[in-house]
Structure 1
């Protein structure tokens, strides 16, 4: 089930929300949310729910054991933690990377003309497994570190892992951030209003901006052989906006839904395309993932505390992991290492841009090139697209190809994408709103009218299209 579907908007969500507020106690509310979340997850592929439930039970038991072991059993506590991590990553690795591993083993053995190949395993990737695996790992690791208390109620732990707003595509919610809200949370009309507003914004970003620009990208990259300089740039610029608005839209909707149920999830994006460096970009892009890797991989590896060369190795490992987390493909690995390279170059001051404008241009160029590896399937195809983009050989055929995709809707979507990717509208609105005047009241009313209008527009786009999956569903 997806947020941008009639089933969710007009059936599932109203029933869940209505039932939630009718139920009197927090314990029963949690049980209701858990059952609803399991229905939400099982809607498309019921068999995968057993994998998630199995992980919940295993981690519940092992976290309990870790908590019971005192400081006199440090080695046993550590072994139990390692065992838990191996199980969680083993399940993730089997479903997500087993055929990728088999493919590379077969290619490697073929170099030595060895007979026989390993057969691929007929297996489907459970939706959202990368997200809920990282969430439950954060819980067990924090219990080990004694940063959180062990959750003795398995219903509450299952709710943390399976809570439907952020289950499929994040943001990755750490247990420490919602520990108190699982047992006690506030509900209010202002929080409900804030949640509805945030959901509508995400709904519009997905249905109008991301889907409109995504159609351009998909159409051009459908046949790599027809891509030219202009069409290549057009496709990747549209994709740069598509992936941001697609993913941030899901985060907006998840955060909005969370507020309606009394949960306050942390922000996942903070205007990444205004960054002046790649380091800043990763402080603004997919914040929950970069924070997770920082806290649970980079710092445990030593961070920047063991000398500059060890720091560079740690960064290399983190960005390799970032790439492979996104998918079983050398293109994703290349994308991760490409960003890691520029992180290292900036740390060594080899790249040290002081001018803010030049810094933003440089960062956008690096990000755009990186998105080619992320979007185009196959390393050869990605390099071919980059070659065409930078050979600046503009032909009449390429110009006509681009013109076929340009219309009023595309132009409006791209203009809105550029404007909303900066804090201009938000800052302007807040400045006017915070002035205690007639104009500020008018602006607030105008905002609500606009929100209502874009919600109706978004519904019309939803009805016109049969299916609207989010890009990060496949991760």
Structure 2
């Protein structure tokens, strides 16, 4: 069930009405949301619902056992970790490892006959696995107490707005909200609807329209000059941003309509003045997860430069691998580690913590140059992220850095770049808010507000066509 589908447009209002009818019965509200979440997930493939339920039961049980069986606390901890990562490894990485191992042996002249598994990747497995892992680790480190109510814990893991593509929540943030009575707020509801509207615009108008040209260019880069390939790479940058941040906006807006506050996942990353700043603003819930559960346990920024460099490369390469079982993702992670390396060595990675051009209408020349340079590095790395394999990525880049870069582009969707320009203008003026149009209600001119809303709705309807899945569902 897609957020941008007719089925969700029917499903959510029904849940919303039933949910607030039960507003005096917290227990029944949570049961309703858990059942709704399982139904939402089963719409993808009901067989994988049992995997989700097993993973939930495993972490719920081991969490309690770690508290009640202190002598075997480490055993229960590692049991959960190994089984969770084992499922993730089999479904997501088995074919990659077995084929890479065989390819490595073939380079040594050893031929190995192997078979791969013809399996479907369960949607959202990387996300709900990381929910469970953080919960188990936090209990093991005595940061939280184990949850005794299965409905509440099950809802934490499988809450449908975030189930298949995040944000990756922490038990310390979401579980307390599940356990207390939620009150309906008209202001929160209006804010949630605005964020959903903005998310749909990002997905349907920016991401899906960019995808038309991106797919055409990336599928056959050999047919296009370097100038066109640059356009394809830039459009992919906006496609993945519109797609993933659009999903996050819809998820956060939907949750707010139900009285929940989810973690902010994007903070205008393309206005970043450095790669370090970009990674504080892109997929924030994953970046902070790796920081807290991998980077800091490895030693973080303590020690000398070598330790900081080693730890940085580890988390970026692991982050790349988290995205998919393909060498292209690993190279993408490596490139980002390479790009961020100077700020790690010279300890400037904590610069630019403020909002760009916070007290001015436009950025300074230096800020504009830094944003353009950071965006260019990001776009270059995105080529590996989008390419089907390393060979295609290298072909794509080699054609960009050829004399055909100076040729007239064979594809130039000026109308789409105009829409993207308007979109980024709205984002720029809304960069101080949680989402770009959060404060539009402060405009005292009601006519202007409603013209803007209707313009967004009309544009979304105009560009709506066949339902397009979200990119991060494959991760």
Alignment correspondent of 1:441: 444
The 1-side partners of 2:440 and 2:56 are apart by 47
Q: By how many angstroms is 1:412 displaced? A: 3.0
Alignment correspondent of 2:422: 416
The 1-side partners of 2:247 and 2:344 are apart by 32
The 2-side partners of 1:165 and 1:430 are apart by 19
Q: By how many angstroms is 1:419 displaced? A: 2.1
Q: By how many angstroms is 1:431 displaced? A: 8.8
Give the TM-score normalised by the residue count of structure 1.
0.91
CA RMSD of aligned residues (A): 2.3
1:287 aligns with 2:287: no
Alignment correspondent of 1:257: 254
Please show how residues 350-389 of structure 1 align to structure 2 within 5 Å. Answer: 355-389=366-400
Q: Indicate the SS of the match to 1:147.
A: coil
Q: By how many angstroms is 1:395 displaced? A: 6.8
- Check the 8 A contact 2:60/2:153 in 1, yes or no: yes
Q: 1:330 to 1:416 in 2, by over 3 A?
A: same
- Check the 8 A contact 1:131/1:168 in 2, yes or no: yes
Alignment correspondent of 2:60: 60
The 1-side partners of 2:110 and 2:302 are apart by 45
Alignment correspondent of 1:437: none
Q: 1:429 to 1:242 in 2, by over 3 A?
A: closer
Alignment correspondent of 1:155: 151
1:33 aligns with 2:33: yes
The equivalent position to 2:314 in structure 1, one of 313, 317, 321, is 317
Alignment correspondent of 2:102: 106
Structure richer in helix, relative to its length: 1
The equivalent position to 2:296 in structure 1, one of 283, 295, 299, is 299
Alignment correspondent of 2:275: 278
The 2-side partners of 1:429 and 1:268 are apart by 16
- Check the 8 A contact 2:44/2:123 in 1, yes or no: no
- 5+ long unaligned stretches in structure 1: 435-439
Q: 1:460 to 1:6 in 2, by over 3 A?
A: farther
The equivalent position to 2:463 in structure 1, one of 449, 454, 461, is 461
Deviates more, 1:355-364 or 1:250-259: 355-364
The 2-side partners of 1:429 and 1:472 are apart by 24
Q: By how many angstroms is 1:150 displaced? A: 1.1
The 1-side partners of 2:183 and 2:134 are apart by 24
The 1-side partners of 2:158 and 2:451 are apart by 34
- Check the 8 A contact 1:69/1:77 in 2, yes or no: yes
- 5+ long unaligned stretches in structure 2: 353-365
Give the TM-score normalised by the residue count of structure 2.
0.91
Q: By how many angstroms is 1:27 displaced? A: 0.6
Residues 227-284 of structure 1, C-alpha deviation per residue, up to 9 Å, x if partnerless? Answer: 3211111101101111101100000000000001111002111111111111111001
Alignment correspondent of 1:145: 141
Residues 391-428 of structure 1, C-alpha deviation per residue, up to 9 Å, x if partnerless? Answer: 242476x63x214xx253x2332223432443457679
Q: By how many angstroms is 1:460 displaced? A: 4.3
Deviates more, 1:192-201 or 1:110-119: 110-119
Q: Indicate the SS of the match to 1:4.
A: coil
